[in-house]
Structure formats: C-alpha cells, structure tokens
A and B are shown apart, each in its own frame.
Chain A
Amino acid sequence: MPEPTTKIQKILIANRGEIAVRIIRACRDLGIPTVAVYSEADRTALHVRFADEAVNIGAPAPRESYLRMEKIIAAAKKTGADAIHPGYGFLSENADFAQAVADEGLVFIGPSPSAIATMGDKQAARTAVKKRGVPLVPGTEPGLRDDELFAVAEQIGFPVMVKAAGGGGGKGMRSVNNRESLPELLATARREAESAFGNGEVYLEKLLVGARHIEFQILADTHGNTIHLGERECSIQRRHQKLVEEAPSVFVDDDLRRRMGDMAIAAAESVGYVNAGTIECLVDEDKNFYFLEMNTRLQVEHPVTELVTGIDLVKEQIRIARGRRMGPTESFLNPKGWAIECRINAEDPYNNFLPSVGQITTLLTPTGPGVRVDSGVYGGYEITPYYDSMIAKMICWGEDRAEAMLRMRRALSEYKIMGVKHNIPFHINLLNSFSFIAGKIDTMFVEQRFSMDTYEASPTDADLESAAIAATIFAHRKRQLASQVVAPAKRDTSNWKWVGRYERLHK
C-alpha cells in the first residue's frame, strides 16, 4: 500500500538572499516550480532571477515585506503555491506564521507551531528537555532573594554569571569570579536590570570558561523516526554571530558524539519535533555538554553537514513535509571527510567589522575540487542597507581537516570581490592562525585572542612593487585614453547637405 502523502506542487520561498537561492535549487532538482517574494529593494536580487514566479510584497524594511505574514500568504494564494518554505531568520521561527499557513490549508515546510512555540520560549524549552534528562547549564530560576542566590552560587561553583530575567543584550549581565565580589556585582546587575527593563529580577548561571559551541543536526519525519546527522563546531564567533563552522568537530570523539547525539534526539522528541532542526550546546573543557537552545529551522551552516553526510537537507525537508519517510534511516556516527564553511560578509575587518553597502563592481567566484559557494549576489549587484551583511557562504570539503583547510585557503585567494569591503581577509588570517589550525578554539577566541595584525604577514617589497606597477600602468592607460578621446566636431548641418557639398567638390 502506498504511503499517504501531502501534495506539494509549487513552493513559495518566504525569504531572500543566498538561502532563497539555495531552496530554489533544491526545488529545481525535485522538479517543483517556485515562487519568490521580494521587497521593493530586492527587484534585482538573485533569488528573483532564479525563481519561476515572483511577487512584490512591499517596502524594503522587513516589517513592511518579509515579516508580513498576510502578504506572504496572499502571494501563495495568488500564485497557487501549496507550500511555503520559510528559510532562516524572518518568519522561520514564528509559531503564529506556521499556524496561519496551516489554517489557510497550505503546507509549512518545518516543524509544528507548538514545537516552534515551546522551543522559542527559553523557560518552556528548559522544562521540556529536562523531562528527558537533557543536561542544562547549572543555574537558578529567576526571582530568588540575595541570600538564596549566595547559597546556590556556592553549590554550582564560581565563576558564575548574573543575568537579568527581563531581557538580554548584555544589560544586567555580570560575570562573577569569586564569592567576595558577588554581593556588589549582584547589586549593580539588579540596578542595571531595573533601569533597563523595569525589572530587577536576576538569575545565576554557571559561567563556562573556554566553552565551545557545538550543535547537532536533527532530522525527524512524521512516521516517528528521529535521527541526528552529527555535529557542527561553531565556536568561531564575533558578538554571538557565527563566522566559520565545520563538521565534524576536532573536539568530539566517537563516545562524545554518541552521547551528545542521543541527548539531541531526546531533546527534539521532547516536543514531538518533525522536520530539520538543530540542538545547540555548550561543551566545556572537560567535555561536559549543556543544552543551550533548539533552532526550529534550517541553519545557515547546514551545508557543512550536507558535505560530510551526502544528504541534501532541503530536499529532505520537502520530502518530510510531503509526509514521506525521510531518506536516511540511521543517525550518522561516521562523517565522511571534513567540511569548513566561511561566511562572506560585506563587513570591513580592518575597521571594526563596519558593514559596507554599495555596488559589487567585480565578482570572481572560486571553483574547482571540493569547493561550494552558496551566494546571493552577482557582479553589478547593489548591496542595500536593509538586510544583514552576509552575501555568500563558501564551503570546502576535504578527506581530512588539513585538506579542507588548504582548499579553503586556496579558494579564498581565488575569490575576488571589489566595490564593497568584505571579510575575506579575516578568513585568510584566521586560516593562518596557529590556534585555528590546531583546533584550539572556543567561543571567545575571535574576540579575545585574535587580531588582524597578529597573523597578517606584511606584504613583501616585490608584492608592493607589483601592485605599484599595476596601478601605474592602469592609470597611465586611462589618462592616455582620456587625452586622445577628443569629442569629434559636431556636424552643424544635415547629412544631405554634406553629400551635396562633397559631390560639388568632386565634380
């Protein structure tokens, strides 16, 4: 008997940039027509060029376009799309949107609204996964008195982190290294939280020194199968933004992979999770791991997992949304080779990572063995200030980590982007750093122990001379051209008169 399936004949992609292009490619591979939505700033965007149909959904600001559920659902109705893929960011983790899509009789390519809602609420998520024995960062609930907090701090051990219950962004947040400084720092944190959020409640969390960010890719279908596809190491971050990811992690051995994988499956099952998702964890120096949160969507860095498992995650997402059994039947405990991803951002690494807007005047994209580039831009494309600065991702695969790193270095030097500032020089320097090469990284590495100056070899005199010669010949030719192009004198009369004069002269 054939399995019952949900019909998906046309997919609307509720996103933009490289991820919209990535999803359109999977749809093309499956022979499914696609609908792009775009804001007024994105008429020229690559995802519009790639899609079969495209619908304008409003002004450039995301809250006027990519975040407007009713416009996106109306676009699906208008074009006859029967499923919506949310990508990442924008509405991808909005339970109301997933519900609204279902209420309209459309398929949301992702988990259920209730799974999104539970995992989207920090306290509810902790409660849900705790029931399945998932380890959490030791800490307290909000609302305790100072004397209670002192007692708990002794129990979990210093250093600890004081965090505001009312909100984030570093406000009301203090790291406390010893018991002597706790009373004073607690008081300042409470004052700061009170003035920032109108709520002086704080809670304590164990501060994990030298922790790595390691996450597990989950895949679950509607037939009760939940598996993991191994880990991704994402410790190279700046201001909580990931910059480089790799799979597998140098830090994860077979035993840790098995234990963390089991934990990740349990965490996903605790909310009845279906489709692709990611369990994010912190892992300390002693290989103790703690659940951070679950991302209930496709991740930016999903390609590294694809390259070491051979699975097309977007195709699997669509297959699962159709109600079919997913392709792989077992968790992946033996990744094949190694993959590294560098996020290419329009940010100036020499100027505090200031974002850069403007036209990409030249774009030469690397190719060759083991190189994959997922890009949302092209030569001549104008980067606007409305959306985030990530313009592409480059992913390199190798038999082992060394080969993947060497290929990445090679490919970075082939990548040529002009017109806007970008972070390729950062990646080149990172791949030259001994700590990265040795895999000795944690989430504070980029901010505390890395600088552009440390690893950048000064250019040789020969390099400077070559650049000088190139610039000079370029300038020389331009100037010569400018001096030779003299505007031809305009003919002041009609061509017929000219012919007449010519003929008279040559009689």
Chain B
Amino acid sequence: MKYITTIKDKKFEIEIQNDGSVLVNGQPREVDFLSLTPSLYSIIMNGHSLEVVIEERDGAYEVLMGGRLYEGAVLDERAQLMLSRHGGKVAETGEVSIKSPMPGMIVAVTVEEGQAVTAGQTVIILESMKMQNELKAPRDGVVQRVSVAAGQTVEQKKVLITIV
C-alpha cells in the first residue's frame, strides 16, 4: 500500500508492503513498530529506540515524539487522487466561520457586519478559564454575519462570526 504522508509541509512517499516492510521514497527502512497501549508505541528504527504517542484527531494524525508534537496527514493513493481533482487547498475565498474554541463568555465583539477585516485582526474577545482570549480573523475579508453579542455565553464550536 502506498501513502503520501505530509509532516510540517514535508511530503514523504511511504510504501508498506504485504510482508510489513517499509520503503520511504523507494528506500527500504528497518522498522520495528510495537503497540504498547492504543496510543503508545515503541519503535526501533534502524537501531534507534523511539517512544511515540500517536492519536488520530479529526482525520489528521498527531505524533508526539521527543517532546515535540508533529501533525500530519496520511493519504492513500485513492485519497491523493481525489484531492488533486478537487484542489484541496484551504479556501482563499468563500465563507469562513470563526467558531468558539471552548465554552465561555463573549466579552466584546470588536467588528461589525459589513466591516472589512485583515488576517490576524482581533474580532472577538472570549473569556474562558479566567482569561480573556482574543480570537482573530483567519484571513482577509468582510464580516458577513455576527452571531453573538457581548455578555452572551457560548458553547464550544458555536459559530461566532462569518467572514466572506
């Protein structure tokens, strides 16, 4: 089975053969991959021992190794093909929603509907865990809809503001 795996913008073509042996960009690698618990793995790779925690979250893979967290995507050939047909980039245009990353209370909405915003501009201040957190616009655009008001409490993942 061939996969295209992307870690921090670097692409690897990784093939796992039927006997379990691993090829990276066509080169064989000696990998002993042992599951200790559902997310904890002991890996001996070319003689090096690595302890790695791996979890799947929202379709992506998180790999914790040596105190550093790597986020990656693993696509098989079919998924790779689908993606190349559909573009698959983060939308540069169209609607983008800013959702509440956690439950909390809206302290202030710093923009109005119809207002132009730039990427990184603070649009909402959300109080949670005794702290005021600034939520920022992910890209340039115009505020289409403000769905909350100051003083309102919100649940996690609630859409707060829509930018077009």
Contacts and interface: CB of A to CB of B under 8 A. Distances in A.
A416 B65 CA distance: 9
B134 A385 contact: no
Interface stretch (B9-17, B86-94, B107-115, B143-151): B9-17
Contacts of A459: 8, 68, 70
Interface residues of B, number: 51
Interface in A313-367: 346, 352, 354-357, 361-362, 364
A345 B3 CA distance: 36
Nearest to A389: B129
Contacts of B65: 463, 466-467, 470
Contacts of A412: 67
A355 B133 CA distance: 8
A357 B22 contact: no
A402 interface: no
Given A424-B67, A469-B22, A472-B16, A357 B102 contact: yes
Interface in A287-302: none
A346 B128 CA distance: 12
A467 B102 contact: no
B133 A470 contact: no
Contact of A471 (B22, B74, B128, B131): B74
A357 B12 contact: no
Task: Count chain B CB atoms within 10 A of each CB in A361, A467, A469, A478 and give the residue with the most.
Answer: A467
B62 A418 contact: yes
B22 A467 contact: no
A362 B40 contact: yes
B149 to A, nearest CB: 19
B69 interface: yes
Contact of B103 (A357, A388, A469, A478): A357
Interface in A434-485: 459, 461, 463-479
B133 A356 contact: no
A471 B7 contact: yes
Nearest to A427: B67
A466 B50 contact: yes
A71 B46 CA distance: 61
Interface of B: 1, 3, 5-8, 10, 12, 14, 16, 22, 24, 29, 31, 33, 35, 39-41, 43, 45, 50, 52-56, 61-70, 72, 74, 76, 101-104, 128-131, 133-134, 156
